[in-house]
């Protein structure tokens, strides 16, 4: 299913780049190194081996019935048309739409009992990407951010490594995935385009031709060549107060880092590995996300739109879309495991909410925040688990119920970040990273 589809709010899922001021270039390298050192010192570690995170965002609200929480004994207008299949864990069944992930449960966990009360795309998106509810009702189409996103907070606390930004998104930024009061330098580095395309290259992660051909033979010409790069032009357009010097050092670091240059080149992977993920845009973005985290990008969000299935959820379009996710996610988890990187990588897959128990008159399901499933793997999470449960018909989380704040606390704790650490807004107001909540104990053994 194309990312050009829209959800009920009319938000186009286009393959485009959204970039605010400082999307790739922000604080100077020395500032970021000092920030990282202070964070490490506060954690009592001189040289922390950070857990990195790949968060897969299924925008629109994926159905829990047709994925990880089927209800085969419910009436037909609730259980739907798909059958269930066994997983690698005796007695646990998934929907038949995710056979590869069913065979991967021994390397991951599913939380079936996260719930909240916001049925709107804007509010649900904000809650599940920041860990903070919106202070006022937010309608479907809103893109307002009232709290820093997970990725921006990680960027603020960690800074860059190996010349790479701490926070990247592919192929676009989800609506609440920004930095809010942390500042434009913690806006994600947005990697547009289709990594499955032949000759895929990340915009501006290559030297301008005048530099690569040796024509920029003076410092002034070098600066002008960098200044013409599109990402710097974007930043200047977004914020006229931003000048070249505030971005210069990180631009040099990105372009001169061998590890950074290699990480963006997905064509370095073998044909066998690329086939394993799926020769499609989503599968190859997951592969690129793996390459980025293994060289030091702390937080990568892979955005996948088209999950607002108010109609025809049992048709071929949904089947094709879920099959792509099933193949890609199973490949990612197994690949990280085989490479010995799953322990140092947290993998998460979720959307803003689940879907209604009753199938509507258009053969679809509507918004339902009272029950949703979240996939989590890696970073020492005990595997083969189903955490929590919904009632017999899937209406509500009914056992071991957890809030978005609990989920956020778990994510930050897995990454070595105190979820209740206090940040300060640009006016000096204290703002905890997560206000309340507690880590989900089953994720920690």
Q: How far apart are CA 228 and CA 216, in angstroms?
A: 13
Given a cut of 90, whether residue 299 has pLDDT beyond it is yes
pLDDT single digits (tens) 58-97: 999 999 999 999 999 999 999 999 999 999 999 999 999 9
Q: How far apart are CA 423 and CA 437, in angstroms?
A: 17
Asked if residue 105 is part of any domain, the answer here is: yes
Asked if residue 284 is part of any domain, the answer here is: yes
pLDDT single digits (tens) 425-435: 989 999 999 99
Asked if residue 225 is part of any domain, the answer here is: no
pLDDT single digits (tens) 171-194: 999 989 999 999 888 999 899 999
Q: How far apart are CA 386 and CA 429, in angstroms?
A: 39
Given a cut of 80, whether residue 444 has pLDDT beyond it is yes
pLDDT grade for 135, boundaries at 50, 70 and 90: confident
Asked if residue 260 is part of any domain, the answer here is: yes
The pTM of this model reads 0.83
pLDDT grade for 217, boundaries at 50, 70 and 90: low
Asked if residue 184 is part of any domain, the answer here is: yes
Asked if residue 223 is part of any domain, the answer here is: no
Asked if residue 200 is part of any domain, the answer here is: yes
129 DSSP 8-state letter: H
Please state the domain count of the chain.
Answer: 1
Note down the domain range covering 436: 29-206+248-444
Asked if residue 12 is part of any domain, the answer here is: no
Look up the CATH number of the domain holding residue 144: 3.40.720
Q: Which residues of 41-80 are buried (b: 16+ CB within 10 A; e: fewer)?
A: eeeeeeeeebbbbbbbbbbbbbbbbbbbbbbeebeeebbb
Report the pLDDT value the prediction gives residue 251, as an integer from 0 to 100.
58
pLDDT grade for 142, boundaries at 50, 70 and 90: low
């Amino acid at each position: 299913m194309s990312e050009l589809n829209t959800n009920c709010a009319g938000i186009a899922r286009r393959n485009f780049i959204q970039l605010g001021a400082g999307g790739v270039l922000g604080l100077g390298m020395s500032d970021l190194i000092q920030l990282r050192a202070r964070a490490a010192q506060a954690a009592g570690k001189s040289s922390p081996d950070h857990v990195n995170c790949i968060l897969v965002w299924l925008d629109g609200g994926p159905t829990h019935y047709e994925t990880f929480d089927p209800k085969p004994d419910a009436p037909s207008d609730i259980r739907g048309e798909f059958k269930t299949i066994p997983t690698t864990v005796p007695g646990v069944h998934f929907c038949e739409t995710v056979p590869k992930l069913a065979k991967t449960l021994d390397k991951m966990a599913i939380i079936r009992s996260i719930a909240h009360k916001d049925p709107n795309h804007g509010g649900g998106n904000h809650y599940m990407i920041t860990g903070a509810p919106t202070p006022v009702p937010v309608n479907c189409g809103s893109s307002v951010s009232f709290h820093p996103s997970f990725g921006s907070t990680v960027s603020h606390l960690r800074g860059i490594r190996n010349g790479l930004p701490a926070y990247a998104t592919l192929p676009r930024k989800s609506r609440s995935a920004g930095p809010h009061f942390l500042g434009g330098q913690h806006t994600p580095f947005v990697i547009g385009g289709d990594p499955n395309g032949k000759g895929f290259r990340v915009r501006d992660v290559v030297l301008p031709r005048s530099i690569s051909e040796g024509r920029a033979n003076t410092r002034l010409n070098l600066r002008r060549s960098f200044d013409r790069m599109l990402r710097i032009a974007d930043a200047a357009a977004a914020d006229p107060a931003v000048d070249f010097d505030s971005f210069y050092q990180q631009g040099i670091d990105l372009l001169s880092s061998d590890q950074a240059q290699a990480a963006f080149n997905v064509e370095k992977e073998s044909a066998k590995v690329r086939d394993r993920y799926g020769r499609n845009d989503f599968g190859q973005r997951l592969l690129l996300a793996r390459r980025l985290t293994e060289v030091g990008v702390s937080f990568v969000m892979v955005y996948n739109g088209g999950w607002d299935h108010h109609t025809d959820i049992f048709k071929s379009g949904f089947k094709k879309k879920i099959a792509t996710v099933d193949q890609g996610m199973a490949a990612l988890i197994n690949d990280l495991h085989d490479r010995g990187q799953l322990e140092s990588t947290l993998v998460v897959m979720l959307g803003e909410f689940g879907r209604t128990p009753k199938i509507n008159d258009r053969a679809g399901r509507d918004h339902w925040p009272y029950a949703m499933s979240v996939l989590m793997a890696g970073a020492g999470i005990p595997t083969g688990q189903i955490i929590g449960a919904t009632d017999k018909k899937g209406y509500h989380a009914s056992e071991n119920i957890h809030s978005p704040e609990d989920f956020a606390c778990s994510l930050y704790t897995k990454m070595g970040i105190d979820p209740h650490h206090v940040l300060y807004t640009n006016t000096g107001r204290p703002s905890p990273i997560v206000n309340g909540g507690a880590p989900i104990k089953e994720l920690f053994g």
